[in-house]
Chain A
């Protein structure tokens, strides 16, 4: 079966750092994506990991450990506009399987 878990909600303050974890068990693995989604809008691409290690892109970094079935998204210097849902998705046999999503609330 396919199982991708994320915390439901997280809160953080402006300027802080937050780490959103994702654990997965899927029947196939061809890479892991992180997306940001604001309410009522489509997801926007943040990062893609297919090999183990850390990928850094500005204020956002994503880490993958395939042996542990684990990834995290790290957001630095949080801004109010970062309040959104963050979706972890595993590419399994050409399809994207989405996690439950994490709602992040950034407060002043």
Chain B
């Protein structure tokens, strides 16, 4: 149980285009999902917290107009990188917290984004 999927697993896009990444909790309901970014040989940095049915909360320094987050259902959150630039190339990982769990987060397999 407690499986989180991400789609796509990798994507290459051209500079200036937008890319949407999906995060799904497959066998549980997630009222809260988190989006992280990880650059090579660095740790995970929280970008935003996504709550079902409400606006996402962004961490300091993360542009909300560039990284659009939608959490329309208890099993799906999406991250759209708008007007992507090469510096947005990174590993994006989502995690989801079971609505009945007090502490554990389950991580998705990640999405490798390369902007050319």
Interface residues of A (CB under 8 A from B): 30-31, 35, 40-45, 48, 50, 87, 89, 91, 94-101, 103
- State whether B103 touches A30 (Cβ < 8 A): yes
- What is the chain A residue whose CB lies nearest that of B91? A40
B76 at the interface (CB under 8 A from A): no
CB contact between A43 and one of B44, B104, B112 (< 8 Å): that residue: B44
**CB pairs A–B below 8 angstroms (29 shown):** A30-B103, A35-B107, A40-B110, A40-B112, A41-B109, A41-B110, A42-B108, A42-B110, A43-B93, A43-B107, A44-B107, A45-B106, A48-B103, A48-B104, A50-B103, A87-B43, A87-B44, A91-B103, A94-B32, A94-B49, A95-B46, A96-B34, A96-B46, A98-B43, A100-B42, A100-B43, A101-B42, A101-B43, A103-B41
> A-B pairs with CB below 8 Å: how many?
46
- What is the chain B residue whose CB lies nearest that of A50? B103
Which among A42, A48, A97 has the greatest number of chain B C-beta atoms within 10 A?
A: A42
CB contact between B107 and one of A42, A99, A101 (< 8 Å): that residue: A42
The DSSP consensus for interface residues of chain B is strand
CB contact between A31 and one of B103, B108, B110 (< 8 Å): that residue: B103
Q: Which residues of B contact A100 (CB under 8 A)?
A: 42-43
- What is the chain B residue whose CB lies nearest that of A99? B43
- What is the chain A residue whose CB lies nearest that of B9? A40
Known: A87-B44, A95-B46, A98-B45. 8 other contacts (CB 8 A): A31-B103, A35-B107, A40-B112, A94-B32, A94-B49, A100-B42, A100-B43, A101-B43
